[in-house]
Structure formats: structure tokens, C-alpha cells
Amino acid sequence: MLLAMDISISSLWRLLLLNSLVFGIEICAAAGFTYVPPMLLKSGMEDRQMSLVLGIGPFIALFLVPAIGATSDQCTCSMGRRRPFVLILSAGVGLSLVFIPYGEVIGNTLGGSPYAVAILTVGVVLLDCCTQACFTPLE
């Protein structure tokens, strides 16, 4: 009876940890995508360009996710097969959440408005692609 209780508590703990990771990624993606369209329009993009930028991330993820899956099946890391990819993709989400709000400041420091738009675009594509790809190993 005690052993069965330990297994169920351990399983519940692992389930809560996994769901907290998915919850965190969902919150980051929701926060990022809430501010993305107004920031893209504020940076000087037209509606058509904004639609293109918002569509690039899922398009890249369409090809990236199967490649990540095939690579993770061959992974022999001590952390496991999926965890290294989840960590790298989560770092990509974090980096994109720096690029999105501070893209204008970074771009203006580098040389002006075109750099700001480019950094914002890279942040949006990185956020969309990494969130889409990060959910696959977690499912």
C-alpha cells in the first residue's frame, strides 16, 4: 500500500512539473503575441507585411518540428532524449521575449529604424517557431 502511494505521488509530481512547463511556455507565448501586432504596426510595417511576419514562424516550424523529432530520437544525452531540445527551444522563447519589447532600442543602437524592424521581426519569428516546436516534445 505504501509503495503504491509513493508511485502515485511521484507520478502526480512529474505530471505537475510537466504541466507547469507547458503553462509557462503558454504564458510567454500569450504575452508575446498580445503585444506583437501593435508593435509591428508601430515600427512602420504595413498590414500585409505584418501578416507575412506572423506566418513565417509556423511555416518554419512545419519543417523544423519533424527534424527536431528525428534528431531527438537519436539523442543519447544524459539528460534524456527530449529535455535538451525543450531547454534549447525554451531559451529561444526567452530570447525572443527580449527581442520583442527591446527590439526598437537595440535596433536604434545598432543604426536606426531598419535594424529595429529586423530585430523585432526576428523576435516574432523566433517566438512563434520556438513555441510551436517546444510543444512537440512535451506532448
Q: What is the pTM of this model?
A: 0.79
> What is the Cα Rg of the chain in Å?
18
Specify whether the CB–CB gap between 107 and 115 falls below 8 A. yes
What is the model's pLDDT at position 116?
A: 87
Give residue-wise pLDDT tens across range 42-89.
888 888 998 899 889 889 988 988 888 888 888 888 888 888 888 888
Helix (H, G, I), strand (E, B) or coil at 75: coil
Q: Which three cell numbers stand for residue 71?
A: 534528431
Residue owning grid cell 506566418:
55
Give residue-wise pLDDT tens across range 112-138.
778 888 999 999 999 988 888 887 766
